[in-house]
Amino acid sequence: MEEIIFGIGITALAGALATVAGAAEDVESDIGSQGDPNSQVQLAPQMGYIHRIFNKAIAGEPPAYGLWVALGAGLAWAFMAMQINPILAIVLGSALAVFVQGVYATTAYLGRTASLAKFGQPVYIDILKSMTTVTMAHAFVAIFATVAMCHLIISALGHPFPLPLLGLVWGIALGAAGSATGNPFYGKERQYQEQKFGAGVPISASGNIVRYAEAGQRNSLDNGFFSAKLGGPASGICFGLIVFFELWRTVVFEEFNIWGPIIVGVFVILVFAIIDRYIEVWARKNFGPYTAPEEASS
Amino acid sequence: MSVKIEVGAGGIPHNQILIYGLVGSVILIYLTYLNTYMQAPYFAFFGGLAAVVALIWGTDTIKHLCSYGLGTGVPSAGMIALGSGVIAALFGATTGIFAPIVTVIIAAIIGAVAGLMANAVVRMDIPVMVVSLIELAIVGAITVLGLAAMACGTFEFLGMITGQISILGFTITSYETSLIGGSIIAVIFMLGAIAIQHSFNACLGPGEQQDRTLMLAAECGFLSMIVVAIMSFAFIDRYAAIITLVISIIGWLYTYAKYIELSKRDAYAWLDAQPILEPKGGA
């Protein structure tokens, strides 16, 4: 019994770390226009909309975060093998992984923007300087929290995988959670405010992203503020719940039966599928497809 | 049948890069065998250089393959390359001195099967698919073998599965602290997979230039070398790891500076804190 209570405590802690990681990951990727909002940012100059949005495309989010977290975990593992204290090892590993992330981000922005020279999109060096550092800071939080979580899972819950492999698995999961949950907030609610709500993105509006702010011109830091409000917390809850339920079912139900966690896992998925379906139907009924206003207001 | 999109015409022909890449990287991997002769891992950095050469070649192959309208398929090409490559590299490593040659042959077979499946079963019908996937699998395999040889000083399997751990002053060998037992091979896999696809993914567009893309490929290779060199402190002699680290940092600094210079050359304008330049005639 005591072991289960200890396990649940670790599970809650891991879930909390995962929530922080998810939130930071989504803000980082939205500032860099990574993931699905990227296609429109990439397209905008080709349609004549020159912009000051950061555009760092390093694969999709899941493979990119698979690398950052696996790298952070691998370096931390190597430092621990050199008899360095685990906390220091995880901090150093994450910092070096963030260095790699920052270098990749700068080369991605320079490469893509230089290749769009034909459409008159200049390279804005101030964007590179101010936004790369912000994405690096967020990436550090995401990587550190995830590697720390993996270390907890191994050292406190006795997971048999080595740290780098667990880092790879959870890094891909982190990227997938941020990409699936957070990006729609940014892509559809922020980039396309020029379109009417619910109108979708017709081909004629492709690339017509929001480039000007209430005052002055918008850059990706403004998108960071927006993401930190909605998309980030949503991604955080998503990844936190994934980690929590994943560990909770094993910690609690493995005692009773070896098949217990698997049955509970299937049950949890079913419950979430029913909730998702209910929310979708409710939203469709209440907000519906876009229709023209019935009467012109004054 | 997909339509071929021309990207950045001109530059060095692909076949020339292929030959230099294949021969160069195999020779460089074999140079790490000097470690066994000298009984000291001071030549481990040749493995990393082999990976850099292979990545340059692989980037040109991806550019070739993805010019058939595979915009979002660029990262996937990197994944399949390293996925096929890691199997070939691990199998090849068990064959001792013949490891690099066997790795290349096995990788070619895996790549051919993957290419035939993609064209005949998935029906992607891209003319260069089979050849490109063979090349990519070989590149992936050499990258994994090269970086692994750099981390633990040898490309032989036994060296990859034995690590040392010191407990209370006694040094004992253990599987848990080895390259494969500690899953550092998973980190190498991801490093290679992102590095191989990043250059073309980052530089694609109508203004893509071969020299800039290939310079970025070399930069990605040296950057991967830096972190593998840091991890190699856990496996090999401290001085050997320092040599590897210094060589990778010098290589990275040079290629990174060169890449920024080339980007400056190709960019429409290079502005600092300037407003949006609306195109003439309006959007």
Mind listing the pLDDT tens digit for each residue in B45-104?
A: 999 999 999 999 999 999 888 777 666 678 888 888 999 999 999 999 999 899 999 999
Within a domain: A295: no
| pLDDT, greater one: A276 or B273 | A276
| Chain A CB contacts of B176 below 8 Å | 162
Contact A175, A65 (CB under 8 A): yes
Helix runs in chain A, H state only: 2-31, 38-43, 61-81, 86-114, 125-155, 163-177, 183-186, 220-229, 231-253, 260-287
Domain with A272 in it: 259-286
Residue A53 lies in a domain: yes
Q: Which residue has the tokens 């490891």?
A: B99
Half-sphere exposure of B60 (CA within 13 A, CB side): 24
ipTM over 0.85: yes
Q: A interface mutation test: which of B172, B190, B191 has the most A CBs within 10 A?
A: B190
Q: Cα–Cα–Cα angle for B91, B118, B22, nearest 5°?
A: 45
**Count of domains for chain A:** 2
Q: Which residues of B touch A79 (CB under 8 A)?
A: 234
Check whether residue A222 and residue A113 sit in a common domain: yes
**Closest Cβ opposite residue B231 in set A75, A103, A104:** A75
Confidence (pLDDT) at A13: 95
H or E element in which residue B174 lies:
strand B170-174
Let me know if residue A208 belongs to a domain.
no
* Residue A293 domain-assigned (yes or no): no
The alpha-carbon gap from B156 to the nearest alpha carbon of chain A, in Å, equals: 20
Q: Name the residue facing A59 among B75, B234, B277 (closest C-beta).
A: B75
Check residue A298 and give its pLDDT: 47
- In this prediction, residue A143 carries a pLDDT of 97
**Cα separation, A114 vs A120, whole angstroms:** 10
Task: Note whether residue A13 is domain-resident.
Answer: yes
In a 3-state reduction of DSSP, which class is residue B109? helix
CA B283 to chain centre: 41
Arithmetic mean of pLDDT over chain B: 88
Contact assessment for residue B193 and residue A60, using Cβ atoms and an 8 Å cutoff: no
Same domain, A166 and A22: yes
Q: Residue B283: pLDDT above 60?
A: no
> At CA A190, angle to CA A185 and CA A195, rounded to 5?
115
Q: How far is A65 from chain B (nearest CA, A)?
A: 10
- Tell me, yes or no, whether A147 lies in a domain: yes
Residue among B193, B206, B223 whose CB faces A100 most closely: B223
- Domain spans of chain B, in order of start: 14-266
Query: pLDDT > 70: what percent of chain B?
Result: 93
- A269 and A191 in a common domain: no
Q: Is residue A33 part of a domain?
A: yes
Q: How far apart are CA B143 and CA B26, in angstroms?
A: 10
pLDDT of residue B101: 94
Can you give the pLDDT of all 298 residues of chain A as single tens digits? 788 899 999 999 999 999 999 999 999 999 988 877 788 888 899 888 999 999 888 888 999 999 999 999 999 999 999 999 999 999 999 999 999 999 999 999 999 999 999 999 999 999 999 999 999 999 999 999 999 999 999 999 989 999 999 999 999 999 999 988 888 887 667 777 777 766 666 777 788 888 888 888 888 888 888 889 889 999 999 999 999 999 999 999 988 888 999 999 999 999 999 999 999 899 888 877 766 666 655 4
pLDDT at B2 over 50: no
A126 and B183 within 8 Å at the Cβ level: the answer is no
